[in-house]
Structure 1
Amino acid sequence: MTEEVDISDQLEDSVAGLIRSLRISKSRNYTEVNTEEYPLTDKVGFVTLPCGHQRSSDYIVAWFKYYLKQSETEFTCPAYQESQNKTCGRKLSYQDTCKLIPLTPKQREFLEENLAILAARRLCDFKPCPGCRSHVERQDQKNLCVRCTLCTANMKRTYYFCWQCQREWKGPHNNAVKCGNNGCGEKVVAPDPLVKCNPEFKQEKLRIEGEDIYPTKDKSPYRKRLALLINNVEFEYVSNRSGADKDEWSMERLLKALGYTVFTLTNLTAQGMTDAVQDFAKREEHVQSDSCFLVFMSHGTEKGICGISTEDRKEDIFSTDEIFKAFNTPNCAGLRDKPKIILIQACRGGEDGCVDVTDSIPVNGKRTEHREKDFCCLRSCTPDTVSYRNEKNGSHFIQDIVEIFNQHSHQDDVEELFRKVLKKFKEKHPDQMPCKDRTTLSKKFYLFPGL
């Protein structure tokens, strides 16, 4: 058979070359900004994009990371263009970003390595060896049996692996189109945990309760459901949120299965979150949508959701009022009379969620106004109490929401789903109790998954 080539060193050299071609300067320190070409604003942390829109620098970096996650090497300006009545969409490259923003070494390393990997994948056919994780280039495109030279040397025997199923090879080596491992060559599709809605159920619900149900658009290319997910994981002054990646992955999978395009932005300051919700509220796709989801995961205090720069002497706090303000009737015409579902995983204070039972009667002084309507917000805990997160499995709040939506959204409306979440917390998590906040739904909102 054809000798395969271990290209770990060559690939590293190639990637390094690509990285060098991407850089604006050779220094690993902050890039010097050309203020004549792309002038910064007077506001600390803000930048002026070539299109003229001003946004916080952490928001721009988060958008670039989002596009990298979609295997795109350029990102587009997310600001709303008032004159054209649509999102700006002006493209910016990594070089443009470096001219705009003094990237930290960690940000620079992340962006450059991911850009280089995307470029390398387009140039050569390589995969990591399942034995040693070194990169190996396949020489014979018709042979799935690949020899790793490093594993062969380390194990003192010839080591082959299957290019297709990424396991050690079983069976004949020459002209191999399939190895002997169980399931090799079969397309493995993970079972979808989301129970789909029966069309007859939807028709019956609409027949009986049609006027009391928010209208939903049928699944088609013309339906443009959007969701915004903000996940703050790495903080400058407080502990990082280990396990938050599990929540992000679970929530993304659920929302995509429900038919939403998910914009996931990570590690934002309070200003970055403000920019994000304001831009998202103005997106023109909302006109062709029937609803939206807004998910926030971060540290929190009684004052709001923490940005990544929170410290004792300089609070970086995003007020939840900003969410309702950005999506209310005057400011978000595209979602007028449509459900806006808000999920917030964040502490609201430092008190324990369980106390001795008292006979005091809670007083609800909230008043619904038409300026703010069609919202349903579920927060991970009650005021002044903490939210809990498992460093390996994620938070109870997000994981339980995902589980209950997967199992029951085919037949329950959103408020009933939230009631089931609260019931599970009462039974399984006595130290914490989620609560609905500022809910102004005037009808039932069914997701009708799959339809």
Structure 2
Amino acid sequence: SEDTLNNLLDDLLSEKVLNQEEIETVKKRNVTTIAKARDLIDFVTCKGCHASKLFIDYICKRNSTLAYKLGFSSENLVRGTDSASTEPIGEFKLCPREKFLELCKNEAGRIYPIREKGDRKRLALIICNTQFDYLPRRNGSNHDISGMKKLLEDLGYCVHVEENLTANDMELVLKTFAAHPEHRYSDSTFLVFMSHGLLDRICGTLHSDDKSDVLAYDTIFQIFNNRHCRHLKDKPKVIIIQACRGGNRGEVWVSDSPVASADSSTQSPDDLMDDGVHKTHVEKDFVAFCSSTPHNVSWRKENGSLFITQLISYVKKYAWCCHLIEIFVMVQRSFEEPNVKAQMPSLERQTMTRYFYLFPGN
């Protein structure tokens, strides 16, 4: 019925699966209720498996008869959710081989190509600063290192781990890593940074209020752009940053901020404008996923940071059927919950032109 359809549209709007413009499109370009329903299915399917699962839950709750008349099931809407392999890599849900081949065929040109296991050499880099000369020790970071290393290894990456580096050392490590000839045989890379941080900078081990020792985010992008890292041209380059970007310390958990009160990372408008100027076409196929929004803190427990913990969990659960940006949005949504109110992860400098599927197990 029209009432059921309107209720479903309201449900999807409240879940942020669809926006108001998309809802108006469904309503205005179709005459019959069944046509609107099928148009709605098309919209939701394009949003990925998580959105489709939400839609299925709501349509079954609202009107199971309508679901039957439409002739769809949870399996065909979310590309076979229930057929996922239960064989784990650690705790990974694997992507069945037939689903991998089907998606590569049907979505060719819309997804980043994945090289076969025997024909690739994937590399990833983790830089984690735990001990500092003038800043508090980042207790619990060892859990983040082990968790991210295991996650990336399970995805087929050879992981290089570097710890407790100055800003100059971090830049040198990045340049050395970018120059690896093995990237020629890779289809992607991950760069993970965990440290104290400022607005758009990562603190080195010598940073203090009196003397700056920081690596600018922009330096990372410059080192790995298409001009300076030719072997990763047209390949996904994923940057994960667990660090504060300003703000005050909390009283219960440990803050990844080197400042106790006011944000010491305030920049001039000229600095901010300069970041924008460098976002040219030479920078492509990047995405940066930061643990918090600008000027705000990130939080860490003794058993690891909130952000890294959630990221690992969602990749393990959904990488088999969802592309990476979709998973990142799920992580962001998880921080909307009332019991997780300390921070909001931020997607930045997203220049991926295709969907990036990790296809665990393939």
TM-score band by shorter chain is 0.5 to 0.7
One-letter code aligned to 2:191 = L
Kindly indicate whether residue 209 of structure 2 is the aligned counterpart of residue 312 of structure 1: yes
1:395 partnered with 2:301: no
Instruction: Tell me which of 425, 428, 436 is aligned to 2:347.
Output: 436
Moved over 3 A (4+): 364-368
Match of 2:287 among 376, 398, 419: 376
Gaps in structure 1 of 5+ consecutive residues: 1-189, 354-363
Is 2:144 the counterpart of 1:247? yes
Give CA deviations for 1:79-120 in whole Å, capped at 9, x if unaligned: xxxxxxxxxxxxxxxxxxxxxxxxxxxxxxxxxxxxxxxxxx
Q: Which residues of 2 match residues 89-238 of structure 1 at below 5 A?
A: 192-220=90-118, 222-238=119-135
Give the Cα–Cα distance (whole angstroms) in 2 for the partners of residues 267 and 385 of structure 1: 23
Which residue matches 1:274? Answer: 171
**1:234–1:267 CA contact under 8 A, matched in 2:** yes
Shift of 1:207: 2.3
2: CA distance, partners of 1:411 / 1:308: 39
SS at match of 2:292: coil
Match of 1:293 in 2: 190
Which is bigger in relative contact order (C-alpha 8 A, separation at least 6)?
A: 2
Report the equivalent of 1:159: none
Deviations 1:419-440 (A, max 9, x none): 1100111114212000011010
Kept after mapping to 2: 8 A contact 1:303/1:317: no
Shift of 1:277: 0.8
Output one character per residue of 1:57-90: Cα deviation in whole Å (capped at 9) or x when no partner: xxxxxxxxxxxxxxxxxxxxxxxxxxxxxxxxxx
Assess if the C-alpha contact under 8 Å between 1:352 and 1:385 holds in 2: no
Q: Matches of 2:192 and 2:316 in 1, distance apart? A: 17
RMSD: 2.0
The answer to whether the 8 A contact 2:89-2:154 is kept is no
Which segments of 5 or more consecutive residues in structure 2 lack a partner in the other structure? Answer: 1-87, 251-272
Query: Does structure 2 retain, via aligned residues, the 8 Å contact 1:352–1:431?
Result: no
Contact 1:233 1:267 in 2 (8 A): yes
**Matches of 2:249 and 2:354, distance apart in 1:** 34
* CA contact 1:341–1:375 (8 Å) conserved in 2: yes
Distance 1:374 1:347 in 2: 25
- Aligned residue for 2:144, secondary structure, equals helix
Q: What do the CA deviations read for 1:309-334 (whole angstroms, capped 9, x no partner)? A: 11111111110111100000110000
Q: Secondary structure at the match of 2:151?
A: helix
The 1-side partners of 2:223 and 2:89 are apart by 37
Aligned equivalents of 1:442 and 1:234: distance in 2? Answer: 38
Relative to the length of structure 1, the TM-score reads 0.54
Q: How does 1:290-439 map to 2 (within 5 A)?
A: 290-351=187-248, 369-391=280-302, 393-427=303-337, 428-439=339-350
Partner of 1:91: none
* Equivalent-residue separation in structure 2 for 1:206 and 1:191 (angstroms): 22
Q: Do structure 1's residue 449 and structure 2's residue 346 form an aligned pair?
A: no
Amino acid at match of 2:246: G
Give the match's secondary structure for 1:415: helix
Query: Contact 1:197–1:448 (CA<8 Å) still a contact in 2?
Result: yes
In the alignment, the residues of structure 2 paired with residue 289 and residue 331 of structure 1 have an alpha-carbon distance, to the nearest angstrom, of 16
CA distance in 2, matches of 1:203, 1:376: 25
SS in 2 for 1:233: coil
Change over 3 Å in CA distance of 1:299–1:322 after alignment to 2: same
Alignment of 1:39-118 (within 5 A): none
Q: How many residues align?
A: 251
Contact 1:302-1:383 within 8 A present in 2 as well? yes
Name the SS of the counterpart of 1:211 in structure 2.
coil
Report how far residue 301 of structure 1 moved: 1.1
Q: Which amino acid is the alignment partner of residue 315 of structure 2?
A: F
Q: Which amino acid aligns with 1:422?
A: Q
Q: Deviation digits for residues 269-324 of structure 1, max 9, x if unmatched?
A: 00011001111111000000000000000000124100011111111111011110
Query: Following the alignment from structure 1 to structure 2, what is the Cα–Cα distance between the partners of residues 319 and 312?
Result: 17
**How far 1:236 moved relative to its partner?**
0.5
- Listed one character per residue, the Cα deviations across residues 147-190 of structure 1 (whole Å, up to 9, x for unaligned) are xxxxxxxxxxxxxxxxxxxxxxxxxxxxxxxxxxxxxxxxxxx9
Q: Alpha-carbon deviations, 1:15-67, whole Å to 9, x = none?
A: xxxxxxxxxxxxxxxxxxxxxxxxxxxxxxxxxxxxxxxxxxxxxxxxxxxxx
Which structure has greater helix proportion?
Answer: 2
Q: Secondary structure at the match of 2:92?
A: coil
